[in-house]
Chains A and B, each alone.
Chain A
Amino acid sequence: MAGKTLIKLDGISISFGGVHALQNVDLEILEGQTLCLAGENGGGKSTLIKIISGFYRPDHGTIEIDGKQYSHFTPKQAIDLGIQVIYQDFAIFPNLTVAENIALSAERLDGRKLVNWKNVKKRAQEALDMINVKMDLDAILADLPVASKQLVAICRSLLQHARLLIMDEPTTALTKNEINSLFKVVRDLQAKGISVVFVSHKLEEVYEIAEQLVILRNGKKVIEGPIKDFDRKKFIYHMTGREIESETFTVKNIGSEPLLEVKGIGIKDLFADISFKLYAGEVLGITGLLGSGRSELARALFNLEKIDTGEVLLEGRKLDLKNVKDAINAGIAYVPEDRLTEGLFMPQTISRNMISAVIERNLNGLGLIDTPGVRARSEDWVKELKVKTPSTELPVQALSGGNQQKVVLAKWLATKPKVLILNSPTVGIDVGAKADIYAYTRRLAEEGIGVIIISDDLPEILDNCNRAIIMKRGRLAGEFITSEMTESRLTDILAEAGGEGGAA
């Protein structure tokens, strides 16, 4: 499969303000090769991508492409050489049509000053044909699902004569089916001789798609080799620099009475007849495809959506919640799916974020925020959850995804919940931070909290929950003990419903 060398990086180093972001990194990508670039957040992956795509100029080292040596590229040079990056946000224009998103950049690079709409549509269609995808050219991108946006981004780079396609964590927001079709597209590209650099920290995907694996840690290349030489343990060891044991969660001491009892709840158009029990000390999984109603159910338990029918009992008493404040006071905490928009106040400090759900419990005699107390408590949380930060007074936006998620967790633990609901708690988080979060939820369960994990990451459900329920199209579709279930069987069960749920 692999042919000649396409691009070769030699001894690349770059530092920002005295911090070495990359140190003496070599990298060789062959034509038609699919290479996986892995590493924890802050490991140097993004920096390396930015150097290849011309956004950063390395302090040392050379880049060789087509037999010519460069000390750096400009972004335009990189594009002209056929280097294309598909960013996590796909760098699309939500307000423009599919056709324009695909073809505009290429038209512009051809030096056109005027827009020929017929030509734009023709080229967009050609690009879609190249990856065998059908899409309405006149649809506005904001109205399309994430997977389509990504395909649009891929089409756009193909039109710009991509020879090297760098995909930055392309599967984060995709469902299993969408990932499969993305992989099909990647294989097609490979067959056309286009090289792909795939940034990911999901081992399962790396195995499925990549040939070569490069792992970066703390700005250095720690190991490189054909993917078949790596097993899970080796992969994780090199990613994190430590051994992480993943063992299945087993309940230690379970309560005799249900902590939370959900009786036939439903919301019009979203879900119906949902009943389950959660015991203290349990970690209950709720899984289902995107659009199965799993997130909506979680939001309803926290009173972010009003239920129309049924009732919820906490410790045997019927819950009558008027708002989120009531839910917090009753002892329910909810860690949302999207920490950036729902979970954190990004410019605020870590300590302020940590107390933001319980400000009234952190006041001094004058009714003002008890700053020394808050600082001390948040320092405890930082230690407890292993948040990597030099100070609790830094803005949350300075942290990596995994550490941000730990801050969200601390914020909700500060409410001293009886029931902790985690909605997709490890999306976009690296292995190390994941392990910390899992270990902590287990400890919470052991301390008698009832934990609910909502996720479509099946290993996450199987390893960390003792019991799980399945949702399909807004209804309960089964319940199982995780130790009696395998990943492949669960995948089959989820797929049985005939693909995706009704939601886009």
Chain B
Amino acid sequence: MLKKAMKTNEFFVLIALIILCIIIGIANPVFFTTGNAVSLMKNSIVMGIMTFALMPGIVAGGIDVSFPAIAVCGMFTTSKIMQNIDYSGPVILPILMSIGIGTVLGLLNGLIITKFSLPAFIVTLGTSSLYYGLLVTLVGSKPVNRLCKPMEDFGKAVMISGNSGSVTTSCTWTFLFLLAVAIIVYLMLKYTMLGRGIYAIGGNRTSAERAGFNVNGILIFVYTFIGACAGLAGICHTMQARICMPTDLMGSEMLCIAAVVLGGTNIAGGKGTVIGTTLGLILITVARSSLTLVGVDSSWQQMIVGIVIVGGTALSAYKELRNSRKIAKILED
């Protein structure tokens, strides 16, 4: 059992994560405080929701680079409207609204990709620009500096807090959304026909068609799901930041894709687990947020995160290659 586990990608990511944590912890013991743990939790929420949603898309052999734009569309439109009407009802409404906007945009992605049989990368690259452009033109680009009260209150409410030295860090209830998305994706992939269909399509699309899977329907669902979760991630980001900047989140797609791939998901589809993605997410979150703890200048951070991504994905790819090249021994001694 242990031997089998050691061969998996997850195992490598886990080792890399442990090593990274030990190095950072030795350099700065603050890393091992509850305050830092809570801070990591908080920092993983927005990116995590998008990462877990993206993973099934990559498993199905697809890709989406438009989700940051969708997240921004959801959060900015919602924040602006709610501020204008001075909304004071339950916070679930703005959250659902942002999810709704994300769902529509994700659905549109899915429809374009399947109806015209276009490569998902090109389509979402295009819609990313399209959605963001529409937002800036129609809704505006001036930051929403004051959120409506329910959103602001929800963003202030503390779920858990921890101390590092004299500083107290807290994490908001939005963390539950991250948990929920992870659990939904886990159950969906493992225990529903839809989830197995996602693996089937990623493994061999033609076979999936012949086996009677509704391939286009499944793919439309996958992109819609990414859109919905992006909407959720966007509104979570806004509530946590208590300000809505339309320039936030843009460009975060690479980090999410990297987290998915680092976690052992095959970029060509067919393989990927929630456990692996969780490890990939933690690894990237730690690499991003803890470098300041060890005194790495912020100008170096981007580069180091890049090294982690390139190194990690190259390692996974190399392992895959070696497995496929294994030559069967013919000659007997």
Contact = CB atoms under 8 A, between A and B. Distances in A.
A96 B330 contact: no
Contacts of A133: none
A444 interface: no
A91 B210 contact: yes
Nearest to A104: B196
Interface string A67-97: 0000000011001000001010111111110
> Looking at B207, B210, B211, B330, which has the most chain A CB atoms within 10 Å of its CB?
B330
Interface of B: 190-197, 199-200, 202-204, 206-208, 210-213, 266, 270-271, 327-332
Given A95-B199, A96-B200, A115-B196, A473 B332 contact: yes
B47 to A, nearest CB: 27
Interface of A: 75-76, 79, 85, 87, 89-96, 100, 104-105, 107-109, 112-115, 268-272, 291-293, 296, 473-475, 501-504
B192 A473 contact: no
Given A112-B193, A292-B330, 11 more contacts: A91-B210, A92-B204, A94-B270, A104-B211, A107-B193, A114-B192, A115-B195, A474-B330, A475-B331, A502-B328, A502-B331
B331 A270 contact: yes
B56 to A, nearest CB: 14
A115 B189 CA distance: 10
Contact of B213 (A87, A92, A107, A108): A108
A503 B328 contact: yes
B330 A115 contact: no
Contact of B208 (A75, A93, A293, A473): A93
A95 B211 contact: no
A90 B329 CA distance: 26
B331 A271 contact: yes
Contacts of A108: 193, 197, 211-213
A194 B7 CA distance: 43
Given A87-B210, A115-B192, A94 B330 contact: no
A474 B328 CA distance: 12
B120 to A, nearest CB: 19
A91 B332 contact: no
Contacts of A94: 203-204, 270
Given A96-B199, A96-B200, A114 B191 contact: yes
Contacts of A96: 196, 199-200, 203
B294 to A, nearest CB: 39
Nearest to A112: B193
Main secondary structure of the interface of A (DSSP, over half): loop
A473 B331 CA distance: 6
A427 B186 CA distance: 44
Given A104-B200, A113-B192, A113-B194, A296 B212 contact: no
Nearest to A293: B330
Contact of B328 (A107, A113, A504): A504
B331 A293 contact: yes
Contacts of B329: 269-270, 502-503
B322 to A, nearest CB: 14
A112 B197 CA distance: 12
18 contacts: A76-B212, A89-B207, A93-B203, A93-B270, A95-B202, A108-B197, A108-B212, A109-B212, A114-B193, A115-B196, A269-B329, A270-B330, A291-B328, A293-B331, A502-B329, A502-B330, A502-B331, A504-B328
Contacts of A89: 206-207
A292 B207 CA distance: 32
Contacts of A85: 210
A489 B328 CA distance: 29
Contact of B211 (A91, A269, A270, A291): A91
Contact of B327 (A87, A95, A104, A269): A269
Given A269-B327, A270-B331, A293-B330, A100 B196 contact: yes
Contacts of B199: 93, 95-96
A320 B226 CA distance: 57
B200 A93 contact: yes
A474 B332 contact: yes
A75 B211 CA distance: 9
B206 A91 contact: yes
Nearest to A266: B331
Contacts of B202: 95
Contacts of B203: 93-96
A96 B213 CA distance: 15
A112 B212 CA distance: 13
B208 to A, nearest CB: 7
A104 B207 CA distance: 12
Nearest to B204: A93
A54 to B, nearest CB: 11
Contacts of A473: 330-332
> Looking at B203, B328, B331, B332, which has the most chain A CB atoms within 10 Å of its CB?
B331
Contacts of A91: 204, 206-207, 210-211
B200 to A, nearest CB: 5
Task: Give the 6 A-B residue pairs with the shortest CB-CB distance, closest first.
Answer: A474-B331, A95-B270, A503-B328, A93-B203, A95-B203, A91-B207
